[in-house]
Amino acid sequence: MTPQELRALCLSFNAAEEDFPFGPETSVFRVLGKLFALSALDARPLRVNLKCDPEDAVRLRGEHPGLILPGWHMNKRHWNTVVVDGGLPD
């Protein structure tokens, strides 16, 4: 997935918006004011922090070690960091 594809996917949700409250390098995606994704879209490898149900978050980390990690600089219970480098199955 490219940064452009990630941005398009995040903005495809109903009422989704992108803003930059942490500076121009970090895209923050919200639906009705609630954060659901954050990414430095120019970072290599591309990574995205995604809000997740706590039980699913732990399960996904176990199923994909090294590609899905506890949310970087986020509440580890509710957020995962996903490495978007093609290593995860669709």
Query: What are the residue ranges spanned by the domains of the chain?
Result: 3-83
CATH number listed for the domain at residues 3-83: 3.90.1150.30
CA atoms of 79 and 38, how far apart (whole Å): 10
Question: pLDDT per residue over 4-36, tens digit each?
Answer: 999 999 999 999 999 999 999 999 999 999 999
- Residue 74 buriedness (CB in 10 A; 0-12 / 13-18 / 19+): middle
48-75 pLDDT, tens digit per residue, is 999 999 999 999 999 999 999 998 888 8
Q: Is-contact 13 31, C-beta < 8 A?
A: yes
Residue 27's pLDDT is 97
